């Protein structure tokens, strides 16, 4: 009775025997996966879910389910750009292979074979990754609908071919960033506030293009620490959506950026008052001439690249201004946690992976301090320390005899322990020992004051 797994001819099977209802299901060659399925089935049965015995998905093909998945999930739950990518990879790569395959027959081994074949072609590694992501999301929905016992595409990314990095993040130095801003101010002064925003907040391009005046908190003045920008929207693929990871966030605003944006807002307010408006909180901070959203392609081609040329800088992307912002923060001693919060990363691991290599150069100073300590405080041997404690005077023979007698005074037939405070005195009582030591030390205490003081204190 219960749920078990068994291996037969290299395959693991799920064997269910529950309340006189029996079912056997092949899982695959992965024992870990079989164990996961076993635990999942046990949990479902414990909750009274007996859908596993119904086989309602036995005749459903992946093509049938994929059509429902697009209608019930993709068109409703995900962003337009993501939905377009999902539908594209399904139509081009997945459906031609799995459209007529029963949903329950899609195994982990069949997926490994599928992606191994894709890896032998001309398709880029990132494109193969996009196929896996869409396939995995679809199968996860089927799993949550109770149509399959487990998602066979889970954790399959480790088997994909990886592309070599086509580009590396570019980090502008402080001098290069200043030169670039000066070039922008000279070439396109109307766009200077936007590029200053990139280098002072690390905002993504779409986040900056969707920024409204109502998102900016100026504070009372430049000395007020309560000055920040609230990032709540993102403009991408011609659509206004939520920020990446669907999380809004606050980014601190520097004094210079506050001053520039404050002056820009005053100009916009004056223009609005002349036209009879008294509120611009819902207007874009960086609109085009018609008041709509700036075109990212035109911004890159007509403003950003000419600015790099004028400044004499190497080619990079607008997104690299975000990397430069993070780099300069870390160089100034900001914590990796602060940088994560400012950039809006989903986890600190993302921040460490991108910028962690910039941190060790600051930490090497801690190792150098060890050398400085060694120079200022040279190590002393135990003999040197003892000599300094005893002073320049040398104990006479009588004093040495006293020290020897005191150390050996551990009681008849007893050896002295490592800690003299816990000696066994045998038949000699402790007060008597103290009296003997006091008598012996008369006349020689001046010669060895430090040593006897220590001995007496221990007694």
pLDDT tens-digit profile of 385-401? 444 444 444 444 444 44
My answer on whether 100 and 140 are in the same domain is yes
My answer on whether 222 and 93 are in the same domain is no
Tell whether 164 is covered by a domain.
Answer: no
Question: What is the widest separation between alpha-carbon atoms in the chain?
Answer: 109
My answer on whether 148 and 178 are in the same domain is no
My answer on whether 301 and 215 are in the same domain is yes
My answer on whether 279 and 183 are in the same domain is yes
Tell whether 263 is covered by a domain.
Answer: yes
Tell whether 215 is covered by a domain.
Answer: yes
Tell whether 432 is covered by a domain.
Answer: yes
Predicted pLDDT at 163: 64
Tell whether 333 is covered by a domain.
Answer: no
Q: How many CB atoms lie within 10 A of CB 456?
A: 14
pLDDT in tens, 56-91: 555 689 999 999 999 999 998 888 888 999 999 999
Domain housing 28: 2-53
My answer on whether 27 and 146 are in the same domain is no
Angle between helices 348-355 and 336-343 (to 10 degrees): 110
Cα angle, residue 69 at apex, residues 65 and 72 outer, rounded to 5°: 130
My answer on whether 307 and 426 are in the same domain is no
Cα angle, residue 38 at apex, residues 35 and 41 outer, rounded to 5°: 150
Tell whether 237 is covered by a domain.
Answer: yes
My answer on whether 183 and 306 are in the same domain is yes
How many domains, the chain? 4
| CATH number of the CATH domain containing 234 | 1.10.443.10
My answer on whether 180 and 142 are in the same domain is no
pTM of the model: 0.61
Tell whether 210 is covered by a domain.
Answer: yes
Tell whether 270 is covered by a domain.
Answer: yes
Residue pointed to by tokens 């986890």: 347
Where is the domain boundary, 316, 351, 373?
316
Predicted pLDDT at 375: 66
My answer on whether 75 and 49 are in the same domain is no
Predicted pLDDT at 148: 81
Cα angle, residue 431 at apex, residues 428 and 433 outer, rounded to 5°: 55
Predicted pLDDT at 280: 95
Q: Is the dihedral of CA 342, 345, 349, 352 positive or negative?
A: negative
Low-confidence ranges of the chain (pLDDT < 50): 382, 385-417, 420-430, 432-433, 437, 441, 443-448, 451-452, 455-456
My answer on whether 224 and 312 are in the same domain is yes
Predicted pLDDT at 351: 85
């Amino acid at each position: 009775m219960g749920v078990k797994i068994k291996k037969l001819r290299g395959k693991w099977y799920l064997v269910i025997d529950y309340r006189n209802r029996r079912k056997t299901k092949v899982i695959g060659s992965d024992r870990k996966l079989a164990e996961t399925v076993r635990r999942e089935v046990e949990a479902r049965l414990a909750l009274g879910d007996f859908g596993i015995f119904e086989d309602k998905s036995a005749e459903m093909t992946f093509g049938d389910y994929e059509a429902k998945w697009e209608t019930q999930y993709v068109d409703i739950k995900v962003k337009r750009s993501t939905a377009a990518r999902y539908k594209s990879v399904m139509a081009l790569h997945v459906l031609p292979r799995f459209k007529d395959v029963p949903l329950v027959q899609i195994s982990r081994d069949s997926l490994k074979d599928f992606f191994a074949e894709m890896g032998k072609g001309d398709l880029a590694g990132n494109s193969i990754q996009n196929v896996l992501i869409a396939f995995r999301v679809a199968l996860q929905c089927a799993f949550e609908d109770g149509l399959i016992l487990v998602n066979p595409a889970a954790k399959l990314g480790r088997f994909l071919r990886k592309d070599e990095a086509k580009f590396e993040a570019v980090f502008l130095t402080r001098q290069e960033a200043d030169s670039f801003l000066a070039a922008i101010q000279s070439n396109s002064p109307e766009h200077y506030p936007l590029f200053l925003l990139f280098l002072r907040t690390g905002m993504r391009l779409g986040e900056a293009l969707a920024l409204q005046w109502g998102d900016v908190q100026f504070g009372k003045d430049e000395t007020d620490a309560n000055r920040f920008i609230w990032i709540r929207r993102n403009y991408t693929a011609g659509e206004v959506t939520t920020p990446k990871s669907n999380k809004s966030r606050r980014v601190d605003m520097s004094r210079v950026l506050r001053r520039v944006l404050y002056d820009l807002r005053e100009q916009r307010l004056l223009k609005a008052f002349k036209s009879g408006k008294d509120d611009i909180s819902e207007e874009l901070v960086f609109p085009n001439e018609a008041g709509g959203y700036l075109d990212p392609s035109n911004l890159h081609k007509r403003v950003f690249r000419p600015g790099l040329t004028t400044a004499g800088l190497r080619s990079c992307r607008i997104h690299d201004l975000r990397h430069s912002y993070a780099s300069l923060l870390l160089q100034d001693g900001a914590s990796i946690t602060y940088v994560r919060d400012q950039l809006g990363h989903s986890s600190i691991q993302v921040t460490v992976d991108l910028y962690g290599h910039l941190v060790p150069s600051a930490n090497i100073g801690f190792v150098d301090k060890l050398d400085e300590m060694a120079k200022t405080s040279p190590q002393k041997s135990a003999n040197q320390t003892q000599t300094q404690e005893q002073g320049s005077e040398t104990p006479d023979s009588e004093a040495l005899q006293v020290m020897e007698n005191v150390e050996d005074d551990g009681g008849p037939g007893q050896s002295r322990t490592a800690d003299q405070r816990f000696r066994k005195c045998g038949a000699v009582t402790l007060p008597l020992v103290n009296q003997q030591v006091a008598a012996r030390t008369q006349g020689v205490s001046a010669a060895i004051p430090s040593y006897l003081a220590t001995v007496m204190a221990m007694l």
